């Protein structure tokens, strides 16, 4: 074997080894990400099982769906819960749910905010104008234009606001308290 062919062979081996190493590292990264997702799912399922076991005595079995009354499924879930190790938890599930519910209940409803914004104007307003005004006044709220339109349509259906069509544009005004009988 000549020195040139040996160098070529060595070069090919090095390229192949580098390529294989790169592929190995990519696969390791994918597996690490998948492992993280599985650990999060395990923690969530453990929280669900803990909540189910905690409130098992409160549930009226006659009102539960048939699948939930299936005793072997419950027993299988309990066996799975006893076999796995304790999950890493950041906060008790009940407290997190209660805290989230309290935070949401403090925020006014989007429909009420939009109705208040419409009340500040005498002329009809476009949905996009209302959304822009909402984003300026309440930067923590970021509804999509479709959500704003759906909410406005819901207020129209309830008779709280009125819809006006001008060519291809749809505009909205607040229904005054005495004018509710004139609504669409």
83 pLDDT band, cuts 50/70/90, is low
More confident residue, 165 or 66: 165
- What confidence tens digit (pLDDT) does each residue in 148-172 have? 999 999 999 999 999 999 888 899 9
Give me the pLDDT at residue 82, please: 53
Look up residue 58 and give its two tokens.
């409160």
pTM of whole model > 0.75? no
Q: In whole numbers, what is the pLDDT of the chain averaged over residues?
A: 79
Q: What is the three-state SS of 66-107?
A: HHHHCHHHHHHHHHHHHHCCCCCCCCCHHHHHHHHHHHHHHC
Residues 73 and 13: their CA atoms lie apart, in Å, by 54
> Which string of DSSP letters, residue by residue, matches 19-38?
HHHHHHHHHHHHHHHHHHHH
Tell whether the model's pLDDT for residue 132 goes beyond 90: yes
54 pLDDT band, cuts 50/70/90, is confident
């Amino acid at each position: 074997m000549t020195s040139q062919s040996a160098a070529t062979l060595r070069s090919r081996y090095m390229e192949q080894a580098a390529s294989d190493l790169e592929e190995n590292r990519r696969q390791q990264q994918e597996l690490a990400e998948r492992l993280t997702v599985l650990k999060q799912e395990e923690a969530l399922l453990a929280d669900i099982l803990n909540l189910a076991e905690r409130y098992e005595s409160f549930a009226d079995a006659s009102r539960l769906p048939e699948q939930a009354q299936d005793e072997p499924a419950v027993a299988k879930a309990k066996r799975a819960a006893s076999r796995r190790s304790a999950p890493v938890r950041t906060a008790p599930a009940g407290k997190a749910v209660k805290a989230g519910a309290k935070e949401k209940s403090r925020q006014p409803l989007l429909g009420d905010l939009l109705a208040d914004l419409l009340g500040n104007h005498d002329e009809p307003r476009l949905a996009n104008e209302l959304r822009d005004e909402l984003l300026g006044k309440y930067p923590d709220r970021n509804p999509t234009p479709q959500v704003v339109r759906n909410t406005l349509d819901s207020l129209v259906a309830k008779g709280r606001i009125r819809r006006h069509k001008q060519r291809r544009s749809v505009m909205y005004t607040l229904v005054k308290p005495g004018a509710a009988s004139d609504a669409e």
